[in-house]
Structure 1
Amino acid sequence: APAADHGWMGAITQNVRDLEEQHPDIDLQVAEGTNDVNLQISQVETFINDGVDAIVLLPFDGAAMTPVALKAMEAGIVVVNVDREFEDPNAARVTVLGDNYGMGVSAGQYMCEQLGDNPDAVIAEIAGIDSLPLTQDRSQGFEDALAECDLEVSNRVAADFTVEGGEEAAANLLQAAPKIDGLWNHDDDQGVGVLAAIENAGRDEFIMVGGAGSANAMREIESGDSVLKATVIYPSTQGADGVKLARLVVQGKSMADTVEVEVPRLVQLFAPVVTADNVDDYIGSAFES
């Protein structure tokens, strides 16, 4: 996995480690998280040389990791691709994804519910890392859902999933946009910085929606006295789900409660909206930013 430089990524790895106790039949070897593509490639090559049964990989960059994943598959190793997709579907036996496009749609639909009767509503967006396809998918979903109620994004900036990046991007956005009605921030980890910038600027004229579903964000929503009124879940269980699916494939089993003999090729997780009305259902499994 990439480096745990934000809470969601830390939770990904912790949820994987927690499986060892549940499944004594898994010999779990976790490579140190890194944002260095070359190091991640060499970690996978080490696993290939060790002759492991399965590799569960959350790539820092899906395209860059595709050749080494193909090499693992050709060596007869079950590869499970998590979150950031490979370029070639043959590079993985199973792919576990969050619903990035669906996150954007959920955020946009919520905005439409809240602001759709105001044709002049100013909608702002703080994205994550703009070069990642997952960020582009989130923005596309948001744009498409807003179009359904004739709204569009007026101001958009990109951050980098970190608290510092979120604070800087939000400060720039707030300076550029003297009035905002709705703000979607793609990521609750960078949202800690976004909320700090909003507080520093003394702004509270808009509603804000988060993304990923951190416990911090949910506590803000619960409090009722924050601009943050909702967040859109992006499950931090994906890595653990990947390990569980890898285990089933290696053991020749299928998923419980499905009739299919084999594990599916693609599992996509849902992106529900969390508000004050349903926060109690989600806060227990949320990650800390």
Structure 2
Amino acid sequence: MNESGAAPADRVLDLFHGVRLTPTQRRIAHCLVQQAGAAAYLSAAEVAELAGVSQPSVTRFAMALGHDGYPALRRRLRELSATDAADPTDAGNELQRAVRAEMGNLDRLAGQLADRARIAEVGKLLAASRPLPVLGLRAAAPLAAYFAYFAAKVHPDVRVLDDGGSLLTDRLEQAAVAGARALLAFVLPRYPRETLDALREARAAGLTVVAITDSPVSPAGEHAEVVLPAAVGTDLVFDLHTAPMTLAMVVLQAICDATPAETQTRLEAFESSAARRQLFLG
């Protein structure tokens, strides 16, 4: 990634690229990404407290990244902060900057999609899951519903799971008994506890979990076999989900590509029905 054009959180993420982290180390990494603007000035004890881990875990984390210890990692973080300070501030008001940040998030997502084989495998996995449960709670619920609305046009059995509580586990288990092989989950900040519990239950039921989430080191990574990151915009009062929604449609395209003949048949059947019922004006 070109550092001169990257946001602070993305520069911190670059430090972990290609490094296999333990669940504890992922929590530390996620903490540093969330605190990207201040991470360079946090002590090891402060990072440990924020991440909910021990101070020696922070030291081992720094060493896993190739540093002699946490002080060396903090020096690297300060170098990244200095680069941020040297960058000119984007022109425009705060609303324009928020939109430009989303453009940056989409640009980074486009870079990730250079590996078409990975997305294609995800498409095959989800297309073969009959039924296909789609999980999204709280802020992620609209994204799950949006994905499922279009997915139902090309997949015979899409089941939206957007309510928490004890019935959520029941519906996951029912989907598994009915033949589901995978779960597509939208896991977005502030990471509802129920969502992470549901991912654990899904794996216990034998489902392969595919998670669309905001970061490679988000809490979803501890419970998902496949993590598809798409950054969330944070420059306004409420989060912007432009990149996650785009990624959702990319995944749906991969599902269509995995079953082209069935997709075409189902789309033609829908268009015929829509025309007969005069559903649309245009």
Please state which band the TM-score falls in when normalised by the shorter chain: 0.3 to 0.5
TM norm structure 1: 0.38
More helix by share: 2
TM-score (norm. length: structure 2):
0.39
Please tell me whether Structure 1 or Structure 2 has the larger radius of gyration of its CA atoms.
2
Higher fraction of strand: 1
